[in-house]
């Protein structure tokens, strides 16, 4: 048993955040979950509400927060294009003002703080697979920039707080993650395809489907975040966390049709602007520093995720 810590998780009612809260509680820690429900929802954390070590606070991280904790996981930010492009100014504010507020809090209370950054900082990458020393290829004025550049600026702030104030920081670059509690309408590849397949609707593949992604199951990802935060050595990162096994979008679509027993056919659509053609992490750093790599096979993870969406869609009108 580890010594009990008080842990703040911003965006704690979101897809990743709720799994992280669950993992922390399972180890006996106290969790303060903060969310404004912009993309998260109470349904993701209802099963945690009876736990006496779980506390929920409705709050927007673009405003300061005054609490006493030992560690902060800064997870708050809409992460799917549909959501972050809906209010791009607010997306940038969440990354930038939210980071300033959480770093200010960490500085005041001398807490360790982890940033949930993203593989999107690499943009449409010119190197493959992506290593942490690659600076990226991002369009700063495109429709995805509110998220990509917001997270890049958040990383800047984290490293400047470390240099200027000696803060203990961790910067994790999260690659495509999937699993139960993804939003039905979040527009991401796995959730989109599963929902379309379960409804026997056409599966919309953008481009010719040859672009690749690497998908990490949520339990593996949370294990990586926890190991990175808990490492004894003062190593700030950035550190890639994701699955290094690539799959083409078309391959994913075909696999989901098979696993759901769907009658859906695949429809090709034009590729969105600045959509990366390849996205795959080099996880050599995570392997050597924290002994982490994903363990859940895509087939097994997809089965769990499909079962979750079956239940979720049955509950919807």
Q: Are 237 and 171 in contact (CB under 8 A)?
A: yes
Pick among 3.90.650.10, 3.30.2090.10, 3.40.50.720, 3.40.190.10: CATH of 6-183+215-243+281-296: 3.40.50.720
Give the bridge partners for 266, in sequence order.
203
Of the candidate ranges 45-54, 215-224, 226-235, 274-283, the one whose mean pLDDT is the lowest = 274-283
**Which tens digit of pLDDT belongs to each residue from 76-127?**
998 777 778 888 999 999 999 999 999 999 999 999 999 999 999 999 899 9
Of the listed ranges 20-34, 198-212, 228-242, 282-296, the one predicted with least confidence: 198-212
Distance CA 33, CA 31 (A): 6
User: 130 to each of 62, 75, 244, 281, how far by Cα in Å?
Assistant: 30, 22, 10, 5
- Give the Cα separation of 226 and 301 in Å (integer): 20
* Residues involved in catalysis: 147
Express the helix, strand and coil content of the chain in percent, nearest 5 each.
Answer: 40, 20, 40
Give the DSSP H or E segment for 18. helix 15-26
What pLDDT band is residue 278 in, cutting at 50, 70 and 90?
confident
Our separate counts of H helices and E strands in the chain read 9, 13
Nearest to 229 by CA among 7, 3, 1: 7
pLDDT digits (tens, 9 = 90+) for 161-177: 999 999 999 999 999 99
- Residue 203: predicted pLDDT: 96
- Which tens digits make up the pLDDT trace of 214-269? 999 999 999 999 999 999 999 999 999 999 999 999 999 999 999 999 999 999 98
Q: Which of 292, 283, 295 is nearest to 239 (CA)?
A: 283
Residue 212, both tokens: 């690749």
Helix H or strand E encompassing 163: helix 145-165
Domain positions in the chain are: 6-183+215-243+281-296
- How far, in Å, are 9, 179, 204, 255, 273 from residue 250 at the CA level? 35, 19, 10, 9, 19
pLDDT over threshold 70, residue 1: no
DSSP string, 207-268: TTS--EE--EEHHHHHHHHHHHHH-SS-----EEES----EEHHHHHHHHHHHHT----EEE
Q: Quote the pLDDT of residue 317.
A: 58
Q: How many CB atoms lie within 10 A of CB 45?
A: 24
Residues 12 and 45: beta-carbon distance below 8 Å: yes
Task: Compute the mean pLDDT over every residue in the chain, rounded to the nearest whole number.
Answer: 94
Tell me what pLDDT residue 220 has: 98
Reported for 257-261, long-range contacts at CB under 8 A and 24+ positions apart, including other chains, are 257/197, 257/203, 259/299, 259/302, 259/303, 259/306, 260/194, 260/197, 260/198, 260/306
> What one-character-per-residue DSSP string does 258-312 give?
HHHT----EEEEPPPTT--S---B--HHHHHHH-----S-HHHHHHHHHHHHHHH
pLDDT score of 2? 63
């Amino acid at each position: 048993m580890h010594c009990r810590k008080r842990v703040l998780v911003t965006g704690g009612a979101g897809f990743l955040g709720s799994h992280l809260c669950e993992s922390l509680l399972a180890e006996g820690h106290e969790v303060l979950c903060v969310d404004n429900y912009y993309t998260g929802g109470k349904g993701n954390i209802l099963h945690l509400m009876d736990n006496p070590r779980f506390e929920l606070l409705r709050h927007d991280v673009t405003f300061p927060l005054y609490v006493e904790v030992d560690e902060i996981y800064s997870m708050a930010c809409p992460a799917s294009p549909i959501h972050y492009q809906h209010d791009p100014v607010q997306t940038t504010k969440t990354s930038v003002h939210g980071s300033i507020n959480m770093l200010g809090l960490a500085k005041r209370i001398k807490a360790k703080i982890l940033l949930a950054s993203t593989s999107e900082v690499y943009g449409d990458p010119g190197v493959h697979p992506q290593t942490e020393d690659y600076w990226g290829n991002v369009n700063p004025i495109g429709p995805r920039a509110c998220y990509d550049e917001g997270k890049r600026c958040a990383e800047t702030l984290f490293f400047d707080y470390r240099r200027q104030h000696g803060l203990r920081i961790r910067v994790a670059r999260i690659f495509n993650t999937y699993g139960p509690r993804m939003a039905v309408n979040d527009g991401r590849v796995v959730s989109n395809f599963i929902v379309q397949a379960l409804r026997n609707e056409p599966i919309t593949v953008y481009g010719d489907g040859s672009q690749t992604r690497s998908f990490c199951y949520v339990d593996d990802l949370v294990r990586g975040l926890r190991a990175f935060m808990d490492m004894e050595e003062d190593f700030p990162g950035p550190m890639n966390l994701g699955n290094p096994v690539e799959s083409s979008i078309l391959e994913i679509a075909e696999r989901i049709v098979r696993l759901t027993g769907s009658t859906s056919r695949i429809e090709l659509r034009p590729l969105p602007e600045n959509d990366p053609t390849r996205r795959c992490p080099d996880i050599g750093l995570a392997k050597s520093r924290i002994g982490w790599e994903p363990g859940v096979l895509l087939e097994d993870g997809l089965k769990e995720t499909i079962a979750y969406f079956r239940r979720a869609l049955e509950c919807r009108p």
